Amino acid sequence: METKVVALANQKGGVGKTTTAINFSACLAEKRKKILLVDLDPQANATSGLGLEKGFGQSIFPALLGEADAQSLIRETGIKNLDIIPSELDLAGAEIAIARRDDYLHRLKEAMEPVIDSGRYDFIVLDCPPSLGILFMNALNIADEVIIPLQCEYLALEGLGVMVDIVNQIRDAGNPNLHISGILMTMYNMSTNLSQQVVQEVVKHFGDRVFETLIPRNVRLSEAPSYGKPIITYDRHCVGAAAYRNFAKEFIKRQKEHEIEVDAETLPTLSQVIAVPESSEEKSLPVSE
């Protein structure tokens, strides 16, 4: 099996992207997949969430400038089969530093090619920053597929429409293999109509591009990063751990069965994606969770 690059991306913050990056990677590793998580967010939450300290000159930044070998930046996480290229605040400077280069949208691809070609990993997971900047675009230019974590709220649907447009543009502009492998619904609260209605609306427009697994709101999931652990080592029996195990299982199954092709002509328009059905007006929805 050749190495596949999977980007976890959503330009909207607070949707559970980094939580998913940590726990998805750990659950794949638990299933004996060799995983490299690349933390591309200068906030470095995926780095600290896996128990590595921030601020020790360890990030992909020098490799983006051609001043370091990306393979030399790889660190062990203490979790079997899971390595990481960490991040730190200096990565914020990459937006300016590599913007001066003619190939500024392909710096990550050039830096990571030796790692990809080595065949050392089954999957390279990219935790993208929550912005439409240069690092974000670099990630999509190297990715084979994109997983879009989507919070179960209607405001999150607008970000989904933007993500669809960006994936289409980058695929057409030079990364023909790029596709949306799935939309992952996060922060699901089964006790509210809101969560159920958002899921129904997304499935209505995107069909089997939506993963069946729903990631619930779970206190233990929120606590785990502060202890520098993924949920499967922090509390392996909680509902959050079960959900991410199921997600990893579903992802692997999809990889084996087929790749969901994304046809730009059949994707919903932005106005369709963010349309709110009359039955889900804010005044009719429960406000407590």
Count CB-CB contacts under 10 A for residue 74. 17
Answer whether residue 192 is part of any domain: yes
Instruction: Answer yes or no: is 191 within a domain.
Output: yes
**Contact predicate 30/22, CB 8 Å:** no
81: left (phi over 0), alpha (psi -120 to 50) or beta: left
pLDDT band for position 139 (cuts 50, 70, 90) = very high
Residue 239's CB is within 10 A of a number of other CB atoms, namely 16
> Look-up: residue for tokens 């990364």?
175
CATH of the domain at 105: 3.40.50.300
In a domain, 289, yes or no: no
Mean pLDDT of the chain: 86
Residue 27 covered by a domain: yes
Let me know if residue 242 belongs to a domain. yes
Residue tagged 């780095």 (tokens): 47
Cα(197)–Cα(191) distance, rounded to whole angstroms? 12
In a domain, 113, yes or no: yes
> How far is residue 117's CA from residue 153's CA, in Å, rounded to a whole number?
39
Q: Which domain holds residue 238?
A: 4-284
Q: Which range is least confidently modeled, 105-109, 247-251, 270-274, 280-284?
A: 280-284
Specify if 45 maps to a domain: yes
Question: Is residue 270's pLDDT more than 50?
Answer: no
Q: Is 56 exposed, middle or buried (0-12, 13-18, 19+ CB in 10 A)?
A: exposed
pLDDT of residue 205: 86
Per-residue pLDDT, 56: 61
Q: Has residue 125 got a pLDDT over 50? A: yes
> How do residues 170-207 score in pLDDT, each as one tens digit?
999 889 989 999 999 999 998 888 898 899 989 988 89
The maximal CA–CA distance of the chain, rounded, in angstroms, is 56
Q: Rounded to the nearest 10 degrees, what angle do helices 134-142 and 155-173 cross at? A: 60
pLDDT number for residue 94: 82
Structural domain count of the chain:
1
The span from the CA of 161 to the CA of 146, in Å, is 14
